[in-house]
Amino acid sequence: RMGRTLVELFYDVISPYSWLGFEVLCRYQHVWNIDLRFRPAFLGGIMQQTGNKPPAMLPKRAEYMVKDIKRMAKYYQVPVRMSGDDFQRIFATGSLAAMRFVTAIDMTNPQYLEPLSREFWMRFWSQHEDISQPENILAVARQAGLSAELSQKALEMVSSPAVKDRLKETTAEAIKYGAFGMPAVVAHYDGEPHLFFGSDRLELLGSVIGEKWLGPVPS
């Protein structure tokens, strides 16, 4: 439709705040006059290139984050289940393989991007299961409704230069917009990009693009 605002969501499935922002924007894409575009990127790359550090590196911040995510999950009605050992899990597994797989699907069958990304978050943040091994990645894909054939093809693409480069490019694009963490939401409004960091800035996003905020679960 005319006059729709393009909103890009740069996210990584290892980031619980990305999940919150993702679900709320998925709800609002039917309420606001926006075109929502999913941009799978690599949080590890953003952290490294901007010199940012994971919040969990600071014990007090990690402590706060566990409580914060619990409250946010309830308020946003997203089944993130946070526990203290999640930080160890993040550092142990990482999300490179998962994000390359998501990127491969984005390149071949983008209609599965939303359910696939959601299933990765569900598996890691709700079920506390691994998302780094090929068999786990295939299980996630199956859960998201992808055929065995399609999943296998995407898994084979994970190690290809095309997929690696695409993920690097998307990550570099997020950084170009000013991102230093995830989620990074970029609204293209009035001829320029506006960056919003985090899942708690969506009310502000609405205000900037002239849309009404109706809470995290607009009815």
How do residues 172-184 score in pLDDT, each as one tens digit?
999 999 999 999 9
Is position 37 within any domain? yes
CATH code, domain with 156: 3.40.30.10
Domain hosting residue 52, numbered range:
5-209
Is position 217 within any domain? no
Strand, helix or coil at 40? strand
pLDDT band at residue 18 under the 50/70/90 scheme: very high
> Which residues share a beta bridge with 37?
8
Q: Which residues have a catalytic role annotated?
A: 15
- Is the bond preceding residue 193 a cis peptide, omega within 30 degrees? no
Is position 216 within any domain? no
Is position 219 within any domain? no
Both tokens of 46, joined, read: 């953003």
Is position 215 within any domain? no
Is position 131 within any domain? yes
* pLDDT tens profile 93-129: 899 999 999 999 999 999 999 999 999 999 999 999 9
Both tokens of 27, joined, read: 């709800």
- Residues 6 or more apart whose CB falls under 8 angstroms from that of 114 comprise 26, 38
Is position 218 within any domain? no
Domains: count for the chain: 1
